[in-house]
Structure 1
């Protein structure tokens, strides 16, 4: 009998969710799914197809296009990271820009988009052995996950992390612009009608404001080992 569990990691943007979740999955030999990347892929599609003008989304047109949008993950043999493919095209780099960050919460608030992606995400976790991070994993996608974690950090700390990441990539951004994006995404994610960002009642809270990546990972690994042991009993 398999002792594998599903691990749901939710939280605000730039808290270290994806980095920690990816490493946790690697250490456990689990599948890692970055659901934020799935919403980013649809956001990139909408931008490329000119469905967003001045932060206004042509929702009706996007819903029409949804059946023809295919998103999947393929493992990069060199980096060993699962990269995002949109209709067969590798868009891993394109979906990480500030332009996409500025519209992803708008896309994620469309109920039809969420329904399409939640269905895919739930199918991925049927056989257990999954670490999934996002905004509604513990509350909507896997409400019965054996371990749920909610990650947060002060907005200015998260903005600095995101700014450093973008600058390292060579993107031309300023800190204030990034901070405004972080605050705006928090507001949209937390107040949308469909599956708003919130901590599940039984989720462990992890505030990463003063933690480095190693400390974040060690805490997650500790909780994961406890949950796996409990599931085996």
Structure 2
């Protein structure tokens, strides 16, 4: 079994990492790993137990009670399994997203999840997205992409997405949450969001989804051709 190919896509919340990474994985025949969903699962579990994401002792105490599994359906969609329950839909709220950002700052959480993520990259060709994939999880990734867009563009995309789901939302509030998430992710002490020196930056502010996918696929193919 030869060395597996790993594509690390990092970037701030709302940059389109998940949708782009999922499409690329499908086109390339790789396994898509949404690490943000893994941290959301931890945040959701702690939330059910009434543990604040800022409660270090509480998180340390309850993390051993959590078992996380990842399954894929016939279409390659990643499903998060929390202690035997599929919580894929439950973790996709703004509140859990904010709490996941805080949860991810805990060393014990990152240690528990790090091996899981690396094992997947050892077993499969992967497209893995998150905040510290290229810098911490897969520092020797075959290809590293830093995907970004302006806060305003990311907030507009998120706002539109919420409305399409039938949820009430105000653009100003969504923008505020995006900016707050950016601050949390870039200022946390452990594995903060940052662009690696060997990453290729892709700003999708003025790109359509299809243009973004094409741009990143071109980078991947050029890297693999060397």
- TM-score, L = length of structure 1: 0.92
Map 1:1-233 to 2 at 5 A. Answer: 2=2, 4-52=4-52, 57-77=54-74, 79-230=75-226
Distance 1:97 1:175 in 2: 16
Shift of 1:173: 2.2
Structure 1 alignment gaps of length 5 or more: none
Shift of 1:47: 1.4
Three-state SS of the structure 2 residue aligned to 1:156 is: helix
Moved over 6 A (4+): none
Distance 1:118 1:111 in 2: 10
Three-state SS of the structure 2 residue aligned to 1:102 is: helix
Q: How many residues align?
A: 226
For residues 64-89 of structure 1, the C-alpha deviation after alignment (integer angstroms, 9 at most, x for no partner) is 11122122222233x54112121111
Distance 2:69 2:156 in 1: 30
Distance 1:170 1:46 in 2: 27
Distance 1:65 1:20 in 2: 33
Moved more, 7-16 or 158-167: 158-167
Query: Retained in 1: the 8 A contact 2:4–2:122?
Result: no
Query: Retained in 2: the 8 A contact 1:3–1:228?
Result: no
Three-state SS of the structure 2 residue aligned to 1:190 is: helix
Q: CA RMSD in A?
A: 1.5
- TM-score, L = length of structure 2: 0.95
Query: Retained in 2: the 8 A contact 1:7–1:147?
Result: yes
Structure 2 alignment gaps of length 5 or more: none
Query: Retained in 1: the 8 A contact 2:15–2:148?
Result: yes
Distance 1:4 1:168 in 2: 38
Three-state SS of the structure 2 residue aligned to 1:95 is: coil
Distance 1:50 1:127 in 2: 35
